[in-house]
Amino acid sequence: MENSVLTTRNNPVKKALRHPFSGFISIGAALLALQIIAMANGGKWPLSSTLNGFAQVMIFAIVGYGFSFLLGYAGLASLGTAGFVGLGAYLTAYVLKHYPGVPYIAILLGVLAVSLILGLVVGFISLRIEGIFLAIVTLGLSEIFYQIFNNWIDFTNGPNGASVTKTPIFQTILGMGTTDSRRAFFILLVVITVGLLMLTYNLGRSRTGRAMLAMKNSTSAAQAMGISLLRYRLLAFLISTAYAGFAGVLFMSYFKYAAPQGYTIMLSLNILAAVLIGGSRSLVGTFLGTFIVFGTNTIFLQDIALFRDNPWIINVTIGIVIILVVMFYRGGLVQLAQNTKQTFNNLLNGWRMYRYGEDD
Amino acid sequence: MSIQAILQTIINSLPTIGRYALVTMGIVLIFRTTATTNFAQGLIATFGTFTISWAAYTYTDLNLWICLLIGMAAAFLLGMFVDVALIRTARHITPAGKQMITMGVMMILVNVIPVVFRDITLWNKPGKGFNADIVSFTLFGMPMNITYMGLLSFSLAVGLLAAVFAALKFTKWGLGVRATAANETVAQMLGVNTRVITAFSWALAGALATVGGFFTGAGTALNVTLMGNTQVFGFLACVLGGFGSFPAPILGAIIIPLVYNFAGNPALMGPDAGMWQNMITFIVVLLLILIFPNGLLGRKYVKKV
């Protein structure tokens, strides 16, 4: 008996499965498999609309990872997220349309630079304004972004929305067709998602992540321990805005369209909901939360007439779930999974005790 | 700008000041009694406004002012329900958590209102109760204009707010609110029924905001985003004035419409002013908040470890 326990512990496969990266990689593998199946049977199943739904989940999950730094580690609730995603999307559209020669990586770096500068500004605001008031101030900030998207016609094409004609890299340089390039970009998205999951996981366990966690629990105590509030708060905002801007670039490259109505406070609230529902400190949880908030409607429920005709049902459910999670289950879905596992183990042990009698 | 134009711009701001002040008063009542920044305030008001229109449509011979009372009653009950069902249960959750609960309420209402009031698209049947007259008068010998509805909105807001402030100062309920705002636990120990106090504050906040919604929607088409701007500006007014006292946020609610109307003045800001007036207002207000993070009339909050 004891021997078998030891072998399980040393079993390299089980050891690898315990590693958190295996979860990230299996998410990536599942998404990749969907795309490969679609390619193999010529798009009969899963439908391209389903794949687009998953692409949307992946893109907004990236925003969620950044936001979970802010909320889960630094404890700051910001409602300006949507603005930064929109900014990334619109900048990409503008550069691709007016300066077609600019390489994609330069656009990416440019958007990151702009996001970082603006993140710095918001970060400094957060140093002046504490806690719940920050949500209100960032709400004002997101309104400013909306006004820019809606009114600066030369930059954003106003209420009609901005669009891109060709998928960057795959269509412009490699010369693929529309469908092929979208598939190729989907695969790129999967790679980016898994890569960012790993990066974010390590970042969260690094010195930076731990310092932010200390700051969340008590700013004064963290300061007393020698953690610079200025440095780590700014860093949390920089990470979150950079992720949001990056997601905006990816959104524009995949969906090729952005309208101001897509970047209102509702998007910020949805991302907040996704992070809360999944569990604000778990990345797999954030991904699952994003899937529930952004994915269920487009991926599964479109086939059911009741939900297709009444899209409000799912949104109201999300609202109710937010309230329930905040009131009764702060850990979110991840906590639910852990508790279920715990209960199951307890039951199993109880049964073992009953079946085989107690040890010694 | 001539002095007359400046005075006229100030007078043009009065209706907006009235509406914002009503919403802001509700937000600050809720914040002081339950430490919740209520993101659903604007949508509770929208619910009330839709109820007014529903009543006016369904019972065509009913006076519009009776409909207003029905709408206020609906928002009163909704506000009370949110407190009793959610915020009271979540009493021991952090303020940020309560804020997220109200965001959840906001998400529910924003989706439910268009479904419940599917047939209501206009504020009211044309002609009934809406008065498009413009009132002219002279101030310091200069001719001034204000719309009849605007004048009504401002005077009603002043009247209602005066009543609320008087109630806060002189009634037993007002004493209870002030005690709860100072320290809920101690107020409870001294025999204040804080449950009734908070529930009534939420209810009153809903009813006051509905009056704001009624005048915001006056004579236009109704949709669920009716109070979006008012909600955001109401919050900013609270932060700008300072959340620490009851009158301070009203100062914020007076400043913001003035900034808004001066920013939208073509003589001052150029021909495209109307397009950017929202944005300029947000920027000015955010800058003011950055300069005075505790509010214009606020005190510095000293935190204990």
Percent of chain B with pLDDT over 90: 46
- Per-residue CA distances from A213 to A218, A236, A353 (Å): 9, 11, 40
User: Helix B228-241 vs helix B194-217: angle between axes, to the nearest 10 degrees?
Assistant: 130
Q: Check pLDDT > 70 for residue A359.
A: no
Query: Does the beta carbon of A136 lie under 8 angstroms from any beta carbon of chain B?
Result: yes
Mean pLDDT of A17-43: 87
pLDDT of residue B302: 59
B122: in domain:
yes
Surface of B (91-110) touching A: CB under 8 A: 93, 95-97, 99-101, 103-108, 110
Query: Does the beta carbon of B274 lie under 8 angstroms from any beta carbon of chain A?
Result: no
Query: Does the beta carbon of A127 lie under 8 angstroms from any beta carbon of chain B?
Result: no
- Per-residue CA distances from B178 to A139, B93, B162, B172 (Å): 29, 22, 17, 10
A89: in domain:
yes
* φ, ψ of residue B156 in degrees (nearest 5): -65, -40
| Contact between B89 and A325 (Cβ < 8 Å) | no
- Residue A141: which of B110, B235, B286 has the nearest Cβ? B286
Q: B108 vs A316: CB contact, 8 Å cut-off?
A: yes
B297: in domain:
no
| Contact between B68 and B56 (Cβ < 8 Å) | no
Q: Check pLDDT > 90 for residue B77.
A: yes
Q: B100 vs A316: CB contact, 8 Å cut-off?
A: no
A348: in domain:
no
- Cβ neighbour number for residue A144 with a 10 Å cutoff: 18
Task: Tell me how far apart the alpha carbons of residues A87 and B279 are, in angstroms, rounded to a whole number.
Answer: 16
B85: in domain:
yes
Q: B107 vs A220: CB contact, 8 Å cut-off?
A: no
Mean pLDDT of B204-209: 95
- Per-residue CA distances from B265 to A3, A318, A347, B38, B56 (Å): 84, 42, 72, 32, 35
- Cβ neighbour number for residue A41 with a 10 Å cutoff: 9
pLDDT of residue A85: 95
Burial (CB < 10 A; 0-12, 13-18, 19+), residue B130, is middle
At A335, is the pLDDT very low, low, confident or very high (cuts 50, 70, 90)? confident
- Number of helices (H), then strands (E), belonging to chain B: the values are 12, 2
Mean pLDDT of B85-106: 86
The residue segments making up the domain with residue A289 are 20-328
Q: Check pLDDT > 80 for residue A303.
A: no
Counted domains in chain A: 1
Task: Tell me how far apart the alpha carbons of residues B98 and A281 are, in angstroms, rounded to a whole number.
Answer: 19
- Per-residue CA distances from B181 to A250, B9, B178, B192, B207 (Å): 47, 37, 5, 12, 20
Q: A322 vs B303: CB contact, 8 Å cut-off?
A: no
Show Cβ contacts of residue A53 under 8 Å, excluding neighbours closer than 6 positions. A294, A295, A298, A299
The Cα diameter of chain A in Å comes to 80
Q: B286 vs A140: CB contact, 8 Å cut-off?
A: yes
Show Cβ contacts of residue B161 under 8 Å, excluding neighbours closer than 6 positions. B21, B22, B25, B250
The residue segments making up the domain with residue B66 are 3-226
A275: in domain:
yes
* φ, ψ of residue A301 in degrees (nearest 5): -80, -10
A350: in domain:
no
Mean pLDDT of A40-46: 81
A9: in domain:
no
Query: Does the beta carbon of B283 lie under 8 angstroms from any beta carbon of chain A?
Result: yes
CB contacts, 8 Å: A310 with chain B: 115
Task: Tell me how far apart the alpha carbons of residues B278 and B267 are, in angstroms, rounded to a whole number.
Answer: 17
Task: Tell me how far apart the alpha carbons of residues B20 and A136 are, in angstroms, rounded to a whole number.
Answer: 16
The more confident residue out of B303 and B102 is: B102
Q: A327 vs B90: CB contact, 8 Å cut-off?
A: yes
Half-sphere exposure of B11 (CA within 13 A, CB side): 20
CB contacts, 8 Å: A321 with chain B: 104
Query: Does the beta carbon of A292 lie under 8 angstroms from any beta carbon of chain B?
Result: no
Task: Tell me how far apart the alpha carbons of residues A316 and B43 are, in angstroms, rounded to a whole number.
Answer: 14
| B164-190: burial string, b at 16+ Cβ within 10 Å, e else | beeebeeeeebbbbbbbbeebeebeee
User: Helix A81-98 vs helix A104-128: angle between axes, to the nearest 10 degrees?
Assistant: 150
pLDDT of residue A57: 94
Take residue A192 and report the two structure tokens written for it: 């980016």
A138: in domain:
yes
At B217, is the pLDDT very low, low, confident or very high (cuts 50, 70, 90)? confident
Say which amino acid occupies A321: V
- H or E stretch at B139: strand B134-139
Question: ipTM strictly over 0.90?
Answer: no
pLDDT of residue A326: 85
pLDDT tens digits for A171-219?
778 878 888 888 899 999 999 999 999 999 999 889 988 888 888 778 8
Show Cβ contacts of residue B79 under 8 Å, excluding neighbours closer than 6 positions. B44, B202, B203, B204, B205, B206, B207
pLDDT of residue A7: 53
pLDDT tens digits for A70-127?
887 766 778 889 999 999 999 999 999 898 888 889 999 999 999 999 999 888 888 7
Show Cβ contacts of residue A141 under 8 Å, excluding neighbours closer than 6 positions. A80, A83, A122, A125, B282, B286
- From A316, which residue of chain B is nearest by alpha-carbon distance? B108
CB contacts, 8 Å: B256 with chain A: none
Take residue A305 and report the two structure tokens written for it: 């007439």
- Residue A132: which of B86, B96, B279 has the nearest Cβ? B96
Counted domains in chain B: 1
CB contacts, 8 Å: A273 with chain B: 103-104, 107
pLDDT of residue B127: 58
pTM of the model: 0.87
